[in-house]
Amino acid sequence: MIYSIRLTITHLYNQPAANSRHLIRVLPKTIANRQHLTTHLLQVFPEPDARSETVDFFETTSMACAHTDFHAEMSIRLACHVEVFPPAPWLDLSPDVEQLCREWQASCDLSARSPVHFLGPSPRLQPDPAITGFARDLFDPSQSTAANVIRLGQALHDLMTFDATATHVDTEAPEAFALRRGVCQDFSHIMILALQALGIPAAYVSGYLRTLPPEGGIKLEGVDAMHAWVRAWCGEDHGWIEYDPTNATLIGSDHVVVGYGRDYSDVSPVRGHLRSSGGQKNTQAVDVAIVG
Amino acid sequence: MPDPHSQPHDPWQSDLLRGYAAQVAAGAAHNDEMLARDGTVKPVWTSFVDHLAKLSSDELASRFTRGDQYLRDAGVLYRQYDESLSTEREWPLSHIPVVLGEDEWQKITEGLIERAELLEYVLRDFYGDNTLVRSGQLPATLLSQNPAWLRPMLGVGASDANLLNTLSFEIGRGPDGKWWVISDLIEAPSTAGFAIENRIAMTRVFPNFFSGANIHRLAGYFKVFQQTLFELKGRAEGEIALLSPGPMNQNYAEHAYMARYLGLLLVEGEDLIVQDGTAMVRTVAGTKPISLLWTRLPSAMFDPLELNPASMLGTPGLVQALRDGRLKTVNMVGAGVLETRALMAFLPKIARARLGRGLAMPNIATWWCGQDIQRDHVVENRERMMVGDAFSTRPLMADPSTTYLNSDANGLSAEELAAMLQRDGRNIVGQEAVTLSTSPAFENGELVPRPMCIRISMGRTEDGWAVMPGGYARVSAGADAKALAMQQGGKVADVWVTSPHKVQTPSLLSQETHAITRSSTHALLPSRAADNLFWLGRYVERSEQNMRLFRAYYARISDGADHADTVPAYMRAQLMENVAPRAGAIAKRFAAPLALGLQSASRISDRFSPDGMMALRALVKQVQLLDRRPVAVDDIPVEISSLLRQITGFAGLVHENMYRSDGWRFLSLGLSLERAANMCAVLAACTDDAAPAGALDLALEVGDSVVAHRTRFLVWANTASVVDLLGLDPQNPRSVRYHISRAKDHIAHLPRQETGHILTQAARLVMTLETRLSTRRAEEVTPEFFLQIRKDIWDISDALNEYYLV
């Protein structure tokens, strides 16, 4: 299946800003046997005075750009094609959580794929008693790790209401959990904290979701902007699985990965710094369509 | 011998020494630096003890005061934080040194150099291929969970350059007499600058002793270190700068001192900008490249874009400049990971694997509770153990959040403790509570044994590591080692490394006979520094003006006028922003800008003369005193006259003593523009038709031109004569015209003023203004004219701000 993805992010500054620098992480990854970025065009307006591309520790491609002169608006436009392959048939090879903890404790691996980076706490996520309690209540030690991940994700989805007005990009997970409302970022942050409370390494995934459901399917939540979901480690044999708590589903071919991180801060689409006296207004528009 | 002419003298006749010996014998200390176990004075201490015993308590007191005075005058301060409030505190010098023999020092040095090399190896591995983790010598989570391990810096371990170039260690002596490393200070060791100030202060305390005693000098170390920095920079184009977190940091005084001492540019994050991949400093002469930063920031704060996004201290883009090889830092950004407590549990093993033996100087025994064997050791030995966060970089014993397992307070049973450590062990380390040796401190007229540890600085040179011989020890405020931290009342002592032979005395002054022009470093004036100098000038002048108004006001009140009378009431309404008719409120009008001026000055203490700082501090203190004690209304004019003499003295100091640099020009510009604008306000108010009788005399008084008026005019003050003298006269240093001409001259000499006929906005404005003032006749001038001039003056200020300071 080939997707055509179009993204526009616009920052409007109340006061013109100068000397700004941004890191932009919006480009889909190429992952063997899963997704392949075939063509892409990433533009920034106004034209940056300098731009360079780097791949960060978690292997996300990020574009750094700098603007020297005053500008009142910055927009980022991405157009790309990504080929997504259907997932392999599901087979649960994961151990129980106790065994899982022994596995990561013995890990001597510091590569980006290693579970040891995703134990928490992380820059945005500190353990929260309410979320820990929620996780412990649901936890079934007799079942496999993967079964627990799905069980927890489903329960979180049932408990929470998708509400794009209840929270904002800086809302902390415990606050969203207390509200029982939020968007994909909040769902994912809460699920990460819940999994980590049980000793299951969990990561944040940033990416895209197809806009229109397949015929007969239901429209998914979170299609108006970039999406986020969770990646959970299920042992040396099973590796990582991905789960979308906002839509209570394991990841199939509707999701396109941009990057993995410990939380939103590691993979935020635009991380920026500028000298400006005023605030700013950000908008985002996404379209993910099937072209073949 | 310090004093060959003295009579033989038995130090034991001194109460000071006998009292100390009694305390040591009573078991207050397990191991004392000065007294051997048999109660005799250790040989390296004898000449100092002899000297000390000969001094009367009065002599001692006056000498201690002299040392403290030096530190105050030099502006050596220590910033203390107390519930979000920060105050400047006097540098807590302990006036009694710690004395060590050079043989022992040599051994310490060798042990620490070995450790420094091991740390370099470990750091390279952390940011390189992670062999230590892959081979199982170090648990993976100690890095992956470590906030000080900065992922964006991965890969720099592959570079050929040394990652560590300067570091400090804190070491203590245990009950067995052996030295232990208490902490590795990698990130921002604030040792060397304070050490040299300690030393200078101590030469004031014991002036007669130093000349004869063979104490190793500190100055040589700085020369070597300066050399190192220049070698590191190599041939790269660009300056070397010391990057400081700024005046709110507790060690800012040291940063300013080191920058001045080593001839480095002192910058803060907001001074820097990354352009085309190169770090640049924004100066009044435009942006200039920086090729080497000696960074005193916590590493994670270095770049808000790629590291901690909340950082207000760093500069976005610096990490990219590092990756591109366009910028070097001392030390490597991310080196702070070496300070992680839990690492101490693994260094001994890493050392054995690498060196084939243990470290010559071990670190304080540490256990990481993420491993069964180590955790069990902590549980079994809980009586002697303290535990805390594995990733913290503070020594356990100096951390208030440390838990002492022997105390009943936390009331955990062995099982509960084991369960807690089992659950969260990978985030916890244990250390044995240590007992430190004691050294004498002077408290309430007697010598008392206090736990102490020594801080040692070293820097890499072409020929290996150079170690600063002495200089810095921390002495606890109580018998307990927990009170070592300055925040908790601890003191800092000088450390004397003595030799049986005559020591080399490197002079601070260069031996070269010909003058070498400094690199352009000192000519560079960062925009932020210029801004602070400009505002220093403005604040001080504003304060002076308001003092003059205050004096004039109370001269009238003490003459019998009432606050409601026409002249006082008119003054308050037109010249004093409707201030309430109370002395305190009116005094605040000069006290507040003065305090702001001092703030500005302390932000640029590296470019402002110590004498100037001293004068300013004294003035602020004087004003505060005035605020506290009751002053009779009749005495106010006299008191203020004394303040005015001081503040004029400050202006004189600036004028007479400051090098005619760009910095001086910005300071002078601030003074001149503020004075001209204030005089405009006075003239507008006092020449207005609505002004009460006596207003013209008031203007002359506030303008300090009563005598000048009498000399220049044969008439009583009239509007034209006052306007002429205070407004248009180019010869009167109190007139508007005089200061506009001065401002014009300063602006013309600033960098980036185009030659020829193209003028900058500020130059154009000031020239127009001068022309208007010089072509106007006194009789034609109206109050509105002066109000307009005042507005134009602030336009010049804005233009300067936009062009140079933003």
Task: Please report the DSSP string for B14-69 in residue order.
Answer: -HHHHHHHHHIIIII-SSBSSB-TTSPBPGGGHHHHHHHHTS-HHHHHHHHHHHHH
Write out chain B residues lying below 8 Å of A109, CB-based: 133-134, 140
Cα–Cα distance between B361 and B195 in angstroms, integer? 23
Cα–Cα distance between B130 and A56 in angstroms, integer? 17
Contacts across the A-B interface (CB distance below 8 Å): 65
Cα–Cα distance between A195 and A234 in angstroms, integer? 11
Task: Indicate the pTM of the whole model.
Answer: 0.88
Task: Report the run of H or E that residue B109 belongs to, with start and end.
Answer: helix B102-126
Distance of CA B655 to the CA centre of its chain: 25
Cβ pair A110:B317 closer than 8 A = no
How do beta strands A202-209 and A227-233 pair?
A: antiparallel
How much of chain A exceeds pLDDT 70, in percent? 99
Mean pLDDT for back-to-back runs of 10 residues, chain A (292 residues): 94 88 96 95 95 94 92 94 91 95 94 96 95 97 97 97 91 96 96 97 96 76 86 96 95 94 96 76 91 82
Q: Does B310 touch chain A (CB under 8 A)?
A: no
pLDDT of residue B189: 65
pLDDT of residue B505: 66
Cis peptide before A121 (omega within 30 of 0): yes
Distance (Å) from the C-alpha of residue B421 to the closest C-alpha of chain A? Answer: 15
Write out chain A residues lying below 8 Å of B135, CB-based: 108
Q: Mean pLDDT for chain A?
A: 93
Of the candidates B717, B699, B769, B784, the one whose C-alpha atom is nearest the C-alpha of residue B738 is B769
Cα–Cα distance between B488 and B482 in angstroms, integer? 9
Cβ pair B305:A273 closer than 8 A = yes
Cβ pair A110:B130 closer than 8 A = yes
Cβ pair A119:B141 closer than 8 A = yes
Distance (Å) from the C-alpha of residue A110 to the closest C-alpha of chain B? Answer: 6
Of the candidates B337, B27, B17, B395, the one whose C-alpha atom is nearest the C-alpha of residue B154 is B337
Q: Does A273 touch chain B (CB under 8 A)?
A: yes
Cβ pair B316:A114 closer than 8 A = no
- Chain A nearest-CA residue for B140: A108
Structure tokens at B70: 């030096």
**Nearest by CB: A57 against B134, B152, B308:** B152
Write out chain A residues lying below 8 Å of B426, CB-based: 105
Task: Please write down the HEC assignment for all residues of B434-503.
Answer: CCCCEEEEEECCEEEEEEEEEEEEEEEECCEEEECCCCCEEECCCCCHHHHCHHHCCEEEEEEEECCCCC
pLDDT tens-digit readout, A95-122: 999 999 999 999 999 999 999 999 989 9
Phi-psi region at B143: left, alpha or beta (left = phi > 0; alpha = psi -120 to 50): alpha
Of the candidates B785, B710, B721, B793, the one whose C-alpha atom is nearest the C-alpha of residue B541 is B793
Write out chain A residues lying below 8 Å of B272, CB-based: none
pLDDT of residue B1: 44
Cα–Cα distance between B392 and B368 in angstroms, integer? 13
Q: Does A117 touch chain B (CB under 8 A)?
A: yes
Write out chain A residues lying below 8 Å of B277, CB-based: 50
Cα–Cα distance between B419 and A212 in angstroms, integer? 51
Q: Does B157 touch chain A (CB under 8 A)?
A: no
Write out chain A residues lying below 8 Å of B304, CB-based: 273
pLDDT tens-digit readout, A14-23: 888 888 899 9
Range A97-265 classified under CATH 3.10.620.30 = yes
Cβ pair A19:B426 closer than 8 A = no
pLDDT of residue B215: 93
Cβ pair B134:A108 closer than 8 A = yes
- Chain B nearest-CA residue for A62: B306
ipTM attached to this prediction: 0.94
Write out chain A residues lying below 8 Å of B141, CB-based: 105, 116, 119
Whether the CA torsion A196, A202, A203, A205 is positive or negative: it is negative
Write out chain B residues lying below 8 Å of A23, CB-based: 305-306
Q: CA B553, B557, B560, B564: dihedral to nearest 10 degrees?
A: 90
- Written as one letter, the residue type at A272 is G
Cβ pair A68:B143 closer than 8 A = no
Cα–Cα distance between B108 and B456 in angstroms, integer? 10
- Chain B nearest-CA residue for A110: B140
Bridge partners, residue B453, by sequence: B474
Fold of the domain spanning A2-85+269-290 = Immunoglobulin-like (2.60.40)
Q: Is A38 helix (H, G, I), strand (E, B) or coil?
A: strand
pLDDT of residue A134: 97
Q: Is B2 helix (H, G, I), strand (E, B) or coil?
A: coil
- Written as one letter, the residue type at A194 is A
Using a 10 angstrom Cβ sphere, with 0-12 exposed, 13-18 middle and 19 or more buried, the burial of residue B49 is buried
| Domain definitions of chain A by residue range | 2-85+269-290, 97-265
Segments in chain B below pLDDT 50: 1-6, 409, 508-516, 519-522
pLDDT of residue B223: 84
Q: Does A271 touch chain B (CB under 8 A)?
A: yes
pLDDT tens-digit readout, B70-121: 888 777 777 665 555 556 778 889 999 999 999 999 999 999 999 999 999 9
Return the beta strands (E) in B276-384 as ranges: 278-283, 286-295, 328-330, 366-368
Report helix angle B527-558 to B636-657, nearest 10.
150
Neighbours of B420 (CB within 10 A): 17
The separation between the first and the last C-alpha atoms of chain A, rounded to the nearest angstrom, is 6
**Site of tokens 């075939």:** A38
Cβ pair A116:B323 closer than 8 A = no
Cα–Cα distance between B761 and B209 in angstroms, integer? 61
**Nearest by CB: B317 against A57, A66, A119:** A66
Distance (Å) from the C-alpha of residue B768 to the closest C-alpha of chain A? Answer: 30
Task: Report the run of H or E that residue A194 belongs to, with start and end.
Answer: helix A184-198
Q: Does A116 touch chain B (CB under 8 A)?
A: yes
Over the range B204-215, which residues count as b (16 or more CB within 10 Å of their CB) and which as e?
bbbeebbeebeb
Q: Which residues contact B356 (CB under 8 A, 6 or more apart)?
A: none
Q: Does B801 touch chain A (CB under 8 A)?
A: no
Distance (Å) from the C-alpha of residue B265 to the closest C-alpha of chain A? Answer: 22
